[in-house]
Chain A
Amino acid sequence: MITDRATLEDLLAGLLPDEAGRFGPYGGRFVPETLMAALTRLEDGIRDVFHSERFGHLLSAELVDWVGRPTALTRARTLGAEWGVELYLKREDLAHTGAHKINNAIGQALLARELGARRVVAETGAGQHGVAAAAACARVGVPCTVYMGAVDVQRQAPNVDRMRRLGAEVVAVETGDQTLRAAIDEAIRDWVSDPEGTYYMIGSAIGPHPYPYLVRELQAVIGREARAQMEGTVGLPDAVFACVGGGSNAIGLFHGFLDAPTVEIFGVEAGGRGEGLGEHAATVSRGRPGVLHGTYSRLLYDDDGQIQETHSVSAGLDYPGVGPEHAFLADIGRVTYFAVSDDEALDALDRCCRAEGILPALESAHALAGARRWARENPGARVLVGLSGRGDKDMPILTALGGRP
C-alpha cells in the first residue's frame, strides 16, 4: 500500500524525513484539515527560525546555563562487573527537571515564543514531559496547559504538583484509557480549537510531520555528547541501549552512533506482564503498521483497527504507538527492538540503586534490563546505556510495590 523505499544511507545523508515527512513508508501527516495550516507554519518556522544561527546560539546557551548540559557519562563499575561488561551510563537524569524531556521542551518553548504563540499545550504520561514543558514555558514566558490521563495523575502524583507549582494548568483526562494516549487525543483536540494561537508541544518523537524530525533534532544532543565523551576516553561502545516509549531519548542517543557500523544498537520496549494485547507496550517488536496521532508507524491495535490499551509499570512507556523513524530503523535492520518485562525492569532499577547510587526512572530501568540481558551473551563488551531520567517521580509506585527496603 505504502511502499516508498529508503535506506540507511539516505538517513545518514540527511535526506529523511523526505518532503512528505516520510522515513521510507513511515511518518507523514494524518491530521484533520484544521491543523494542516499550523503544520505548514511550523515547517516554515523550522526552516526560517529553528535553523537560523541566532536561534542556534539561543538554544545552546539555554542548554548549558539552564538545562545543565553536557550531562555526565558515568562508568558504572560495580554494576558492570556484576553483569560482566564495561558499562557506561549517559546521565540524562542529571539534566534540569530530571530527564531528557527538557532538551525537547526548552527547544520547542523557544520556538513557540519566536513563532508568536499565545499559549502552549502539551501532553504527558509519566509527567516528565509535563514538568519539562511547564518549566520551559515558565522560563520563556508563555502560558502552558498540560493534559494528563487520570490514571497517570494518580500514579505520578508528585509530578502533578511540580507542574502546577511551575505555573502550568494541569487537566486530568477522564476519557479513553486515561493514560498518555488519551492525553494526546485531548491535547490535539485543544490544539484543533485554536491552531493559530496555540502551539502544540509534543513530548516524544511521534505525531505528524514535522514533529518527529523536530524532536529528533532536539534530542540528538544526547548522542552527540555521548559519542564525543566515549571517543574522547575509551572509544566507541560495542552496543548502545535506550528505552523506547514514543522513542525520543532513544532516537536522540541512536543518532550519535547510526553511522558507526561496529556499534550494535538496541531499543528496549516495555514488555509489561505478558505477551497478549493489552499486557505490554512493545510497539515495534509486536505491533503492526497503522495510523495514530497523525503518523503512520507501528502500532498496537486489534483486528478492527481499534487502538489497544497497553500496560507497563512505567507510565512513560505506556503508549501503543512509536515514532515513525523507529519503525523505519527496525525495517532496515539497523536497530534491534525487543521487550523486557516489568519485573526485569524493577530488578535492574534495584541493582542500579544499590550498585551505583543512582535511582533511575522506571523507563530508563528498561534500558538497563535490556543491556543486562544482552550482557549475558556478550561478556567483556563495552556497553552504553541511555539513562533517560531519574526515578524520584516513581517513588509512590515503588513504595506501593513494596519489596526493598
Chain B
Amino acid sequence: MIEPRQAIQQAIEGSEGPAVVAYLTAGHPDPDRFLADLDAVASAADVVEVGVPFSDPMADGVTIQRASHAAISKGVSLRWILARLRERATGPGAPVLLMSYLNPLLVHGYERLADEAALAGVAGFIVPDLPLEESEPLRSALERNGLALVQLVTPATRAERVRTLAAASSGFVYAVTRTGTTGSGALAADLAGYLGMVKAASDLPVCAGFGVRSREQVAEIGRHADGVIVGSALVEVLERGEDPAAFLSGLRP
C-alpha cells in the first residue's frame, strides 16, 4: 500500500491538465451537509483541503473568516471533523488534507492527532502559521503515519529558502500566488518567473493559488504549475447553495 502522502502526489500527477485542489471550510454553511458537500467537491477535484475553523484566521480574507466564525458558532471543531470523516465511506476518491491553524492541533496533541487523522482517512496537513523552523514536532508525528505536511512558499520567499522548503515538503509544494490573505486580489506580477523558480527548486508537484476565481486564472497558473488551488471562490459557491462539482468542472481549461 502506498503512503497517504504519496497518494496526494499521485493524485496531482495523474490529473489530465492542471490538478484542481479544492478548499472548503468544514461544516460551512451547514454542518449537516458537510459530508455531502465534501463528496460533491471530491468528485470534481483531484485533492480536497478541509478547513478546520479557527477563531483567529490571520492569513485569511473575509470569506474564510466569515466561514470560520460561522462554523465555530455551529459547533464545528477538529474533533467533530475527525469523527465525521471517520463515518465517511473511505474508498477511492480525491485525497483529503486538513488545513488548520496550529493551536487546535497543538491542543489536540500531535501523536493522537496523527493516529486519529490516519484512521479518518486524512492524507496530510497544511498549517499556515507553522513555518519550517517550528514544524519538527508535528512533522515527526505525522511522518510516522505516512501523512504529509505541506510546506508553503510565497512570492516573498527567496530562492534558497524555496529549495529548503520544497525539500522539506511532502505531497506537494503550496505556492502562494499573491502576497496577502486568501480570497481576492491580483496574481503575483511575474507569475511565470515565480512559479518557474519554485518548479525548478522542487521534486514534488507544485500547486499554486490564493485568490483564484476564474477559468482564465486556472489556465494561466496551469501553464506554470502542476495544480491550482481554489478556496474562497468555492466557499462562496457553497454559501450560495450552488453545485460545487459543476463550478469546479467549469474551472478546468
Whether A306 contacts B54 in the complex (CB less than 8 A), given A1-B110, A30-B131, A32-B129, comes out as: yes
Partner of B103, one of A29, A175, A176, A305: A305
Q: Is B152 within 8 A of A290, CB to CB?
A: no
Q: Is B179 within 8 A of A194, CB to CB?
A: yes
Q: Is A37 within 8 A of B180, CB to CB?
A: no
Whether A189 contacts B157 in the complex (CB less than 8 A), given A33-B131, A36-B131, A304-B78, comes out as: no
In this complex, how many residues of chain B approach chain A with their Cβ under 8 Å: the count is: 44
Whether A291 contacts B106 in the complex (CB less than 8 A), given A32-B152, A304-B77, comes out as: yes
Interfacial chain B residues near A303, Cβ < 8 Å: 107
Which of B56, B106, B156, B176 counts the most chain A CB atoms within 10 A?
A: B56
Interfacial chain A residues near B156, Cβ < 8 Å: 33-34, 36-38, 195-196
* Residues A151-181 near B (CB distance < 8 A): 175-176, 181
- CB A99 to nearest CB in B, in angstroms, measures 26
Q: Is A305 within 8 A of B129, CB to CB?
A: no
Whether A290 contacts B106 in the complex (CB less than 8 A), given A29-B134, A304-B78, comes out as: yes
B69 contacts the other chain (Cβ, under 8 Å)?
yes
- CB B185 to nearest CB in A, in angstroms, measures 8
Q: Is A305 within 8 A of B134, CB to CB?
A: no
- CB B160 to nearest CB in A, in angstroms, measures 11
- Give Cα A29–Cα B78 distance, bound, in whole angstroms: 23
- CB B49 to nearest CB in A, in angstroms, measures 16
Interfacial chain B residues near A292, Cβ < 8 Å: 56, 103
Q: Is A33 within 8 A of B157, CB to CB?
A: yes
A143 contacts the other chain (Cβ, under 8 Å)?
no
- Give Cα A319–Cα B25 distance, bound, in whole angstroms: 26
B237 contacts the other chain (Cβ, under 8 Å)?
no
B146 contacts the other chain (Cβ, under 8 Å)?
no
In this complex, how many residues of chain A approach chain B with their Cβ under 8 Å: the count is: 36
- CB B93 to nearest CB in A, in angstroms, measures 27
Interfacial chain A residues near B165, Cβ < 8 Å: 33
* Residues A39-81 near B (CB distance < 8 A): none
Which of A31, A185, A189, A193 counts the most chain B CB atoms within 10 A?
A: A189
Q: Is B107 within 8 A of A193, CB to CB?
A: no
- Give Cα A307–Cα B157 distance, bound, in whole angstroms: 29
0/1 per residue, B85-113, Cβ < 8 Å to A? Answer: 00000000000000001111111101000
Interfacial chain A residues near B131, Cβ < 8 Å: 29-33, 36
0/1 per residue, B140-153, Cβ < 8 Å to A? Answer: 00000000000111
Whether A20 contacts B133 in the complex (CB less than 8 A), given A194-B179, A305-B107, comes out as: yes
* Residues B60-84 near A (CB distance < 8 A): 60-62, 65, 69, 72, 77-79
Partner of A293, one of B58, B72, B79: B58
* Residues A286-300 near B (CB distance < 8 A): 290-294, 299
Interfacial chain A residues near B77, Cβ < 8 Å: 304, 306
- Give Cα A38–Cα B154 distance, bound, in whole angstroms: 12
Interfacial chain B residues near A31, Cβ < 8 Å: 129, 131
Q: Is A176 within 8 A of B179, CB to CB?
A: no
New A-B pairs, 15, CB < 8 Å, besides A292-B103, A305-B106: A29-B134, A30-B134, A32-B59, A32-B131, A33-B131, A33-B152, A37-B157, A175-B62, A189-B59, A192-B59, A291-B102, A291-B129, A304-B78, A304-B104, A305-B78
- The 6 A-B residue pairs whose C-beta atoms are closest, nearest first, are A305-B107, A305-B104, A304-B77, A193-B180, A305-B103, A306-B55
24 A-B residue pairs with CB within 8 Å? A1-B110, A2-B137, A28-B134, A30-B131, A31-B131, A32-B59, A33-B152, A33-B157, A33-B165, A34-B156, A176-B55, A181-B56, A188-B58, A189-B60, A193-B179, A291-B102, A291-B106, A299-B103, A304-B79, A304-B104, A304-B107, A305-B104, A306-B55, A307-B103
- Footprint of B on A, CB under 8 Å? 1-2, 20, 28-34, 36-38, 175-176, 181, 185, 188-189, 192-196, 290-294, 299, 301, 303-307
- Footprint of A on B, CB under 8 Å? 54-62, 65, 69, 72, 77-79, 101-108, 110, 128-131, 133-134, 137, 151-154, 156-158, 161, 165, 176, 179-181
